[in-house]
Amino acid sequence: MIAPEFIDELLARTDIVEVVQSRVVLKKTGQNYTGLCPFHKEKSPSFSVSQDKQFYYCFGCQASGSALKFLMEFERLEFLAAIEMLAGNAGMQVPQTSSQGSPERNERRKSIYNILEQSAHFYQAQLKQNSHKAQAIDYLKARGVSGEIARDFGLGYAPPGWDNLYKDQAKTNLEHDLLIESGMVVNNKDEDKTYDRFRDRIMFPIRDIRGRVIAFGGRILGEGQPKYLNSPETPVFHKGRELYGLFEARKRTQKLTQLLVVEGYMDVVALAQNNINYAVATLGTATSGEHLERMFRLVSRLVFCFDGDNAGRNAAWKALAVALPLMRDGRSARFLFLPDGEDPDSLVRKEGKDKFEWRLDQAQPLPDFFFNKLQADIDIKSLDGKAHLSNLAMPMINEIPSGVFKQLMIEQLSILTGLAADKLVAASASVAARYVPSAPKSKPTMSEPAPPGAQDTFQQGMSRQDLTSPANNSRENIEFAKLVNMAIAMLLRQPELSQQFDEKAYSRLEAGPGSELLLELIHAIVAREITSPVMLLATWQDRPEFDYLRDLIEQEQLLDVSELPEEFTGVINTLLRLTDVQSGQLLRADLLSKPFDEMSESEREMLKNLVKSRHNRK
Ligand SMILES: [Zn+2]
């Protein structure tokens, strides 16, 4: 945890152009710098860096962000490492005090890292010199683990006996406490005995992304239980987010392009031994969203490796469900099921790198696994079966972020069921509407953005709102949503258009539903004096509407820039008229519930205007 003030100060002292320019060739073009995007392959430059906004954006792949984000993505650094690198450049010292804790607490964490590092050294030394080492060495040799791999992964040996590590490391009371706190030894208070957690095991140090030892995994030698044992949760180790082998994978690979997710440490080591250097293992927990986020930050391709049996398939299905909300365009996930009785360790030793990588290439893409699994128990030929399939699939597909991938999944379902894609979306939207008694009042169309090119979907997103808000009429709503969509698209092209917007128009639109995002954009443009689309987009970077806005920017532009001001005015005027009608309807319902003689003068005036405007529209 680093204080936000420090990050502000750091970014203030950093020039993004300098940071980018030392890594990407940039050319000054007008206000901005442009170059070939480092995040996707391209021949003509669509990558732009703004010096005044201290922001980069790629019109090709939509990569965008600050200098900090650039470093994280380009150098594939974690947040803290990127902060440290920037601070180094800026000659600033990253403050040691964290918002979580006092300096004492940080000292304590440092001491825990130290004792873990020393423990790793102890185990490594035992593998070389302990009188019982033969059993451990035989185990590793039988698995073809070379000295080089053992060194790279820091493998060690916890000899048999109750307190080898404890006796060696706990020279002081502080060390005694630290060994307990780091999970290396266990203290039995009743008997007042302290003993080593790991005994008679091959030891696998678990390192964080910076290479610090944060925990251990131990594999039993011989028949004892449990076969695998991990460190407990400690101040420096959180099972649900750490991945065994990630540090080593990054160290041993020039450029990671994919990660292979396996179950055990020995799988990771055996794969590395066979020159497959991109395997990682979760630590005795199911794959979490946090695991996946971390991996997708480094690579766009994941392959999950599971046993071919039922348990393996169920675990794979769980991983798929966790992955769906993270499947943004450009990311891929595949599923490899191993032959009976094999694990990656045994298989790669038997078959070697080429055959194993061939298997990886054959792994089922997420859509195949998804539809195969869903179809397995359904008679897809019957009408019932088709309906059942779409009912099972659509709620899951709806978890996928809007984009081409989601659209392809819907189309695939459409092919399987023979139901038109827009019908599927409509059906799932109305199901959702029925089961959500009170949909959020604002931004129905914005929180459910349309996939690019899917006008029907967009309308359906709107009709979900219709079903839940009685005052709305769906045909008018669709027209309204389209107009808001157009206005926002124009603003994204030319933020200055917001100057045509006066306060009166603002409050008129505010009175009705459906233009919340449009108004917010206008407000942001005026308040922050935003002049470039990139900057406008940047302001929405952390918002759920970001993808929707980005898609709008991407859409083909039919209008010429010179036509924009007039068109914008036209659209806004129509919106104003529709809003007045709509808020009028709400008001009317309210007014009509009151006897005329109980109305105030202004309410009577409103009612008269309402009647007049209804009349005019007919
Ligand atoms: Zn790009």
305 and 336 Cβ atoms separated by less than 8 Å: yes
User: Do you know the residue count of the chain?
Assistant: 618
Which residues lie near ion ligand 1 (Cβ < 5 Å)?
37, 39-40, 58, 60-61, 63
Element (H, E) at 167: helix 164-169
Ligand 1 centroid from CA 599, angstroms:
60
The tally of CA atoms less than 13 A away on the side-chain side of residue 370 is 27
pLDDT at 447: 33
- The runs of H, that is alpha helices, within 2-75 are 4-12, 16-21, 67-74
Q: Mean pLDDT across the stretch 596-616?
A: 63
Whether the predicted pLDDT of 387 surpasses 60: yes
Q: Which residues pair with 334 in a beta bridge?
A: 303, 365
User: Residue 15 Cα, ligand 1 centroid: separation in angstroms?
Assistant: 20
Residue 72 parent element (H or E): helix 67-74
For residue 36, how far is its CA from the centre of ligand 1 (angstroms)? 8
Question: Please, which residues bridge with residue 27 across strands?
Answer: 34
Grade residue 479 by pLDDT with cuts at 50, 70 and 90: confident
What is the Cα Rg of the chain in Å?
30
pLDDT value at residue 252: 84
Q: Which residue has the higher pLDDT, 617 or 137?
A: 137
Q: Is 102 exposed, middle or buried (0-12, 13-18, 19+ CB in 10 A)?
A: exposed
- Please give the Cα distance from 212 to 206 (Å, whole number): 8
One-letter amino acid at 316 equals A
State the chain's mean pLDDT as an integer: 81
Of all residues in the chain, the percent with pLDDT exceeding 90 is: 33
How much distance in Å is there from the Cα of 567 to the middle of ligand 1? Answer: 31
CA atoms of 358 and 95, how far apart (whole Å):
48
Q: What is the pLDDT of residue 111?
A: 92
- Work out the pLDDT band at 317, boundaries 50, 70, 90: very high
* CA distance linking residue 120 with residue 126, whole number of Å: 10
Give the model's pLDDT for residue 548: 79
Cis check: omega of the bond before 226, within 30 degrees of 0: yes
Average pLDDT for 326-355: 92
> 545 C-alpha vs ligand 1 centroid, how far in Å?
20
φ/ψ bin of 329: left (φ > 0), alpha (ψ from -120 to 50), beta (otherwise): beta
**What are residue 305's phi and psi, to 5 degrees?**
-115, 125
Taking the C-alpha atoms of residue 50 and residue 542, their distance in angstroms, rounded to an integer, is 19
| 559 CB burial (10 A radius; 0-12, 13-18, 19+) | middle
Q: Quote the ligand 1 centre to 63 CA distance (angstroms).
A: 6
Q: How many CA atoms lie within 13 A of 156 on its CB side?
A: 25
Whether residue 442 has pLDDT greater than 60? no
CA of 410 to the centre of ligand 1 (A): 26
Pairwise CA distance, residues 535 & 57, whole Å? 9
Using CA atoms, how far apart are residues 127 and 175, in angstroms rounded to an integer?
A: 23
What does the pLDDT look like over 14-51, one tens digit per residue? 889 889 988 898 988 877 889 999 998 888 888 999 88
What b/e sequence results for 343-371 when a residue is b if at least 16 CB atoms lie within 10 Å of its CB, and e otherwise? Answer: bbbbbbbeeeeeebbebeeebbebbebbb
Query: Going from the N-terminus, what domains does the chain have, and what CATH number goes with each?
Result: 4-90 (3.90.580.10), 104-237 (3.90.980.10), 238-362 (3.40.1360.10), 377-435 (1.20.50), 444-617 (1.10.860.10)
Ligand 1 center to residue 61 CA distance, Å? 4
Ligand 1 centroid–CA 325 distance in Å is: 22
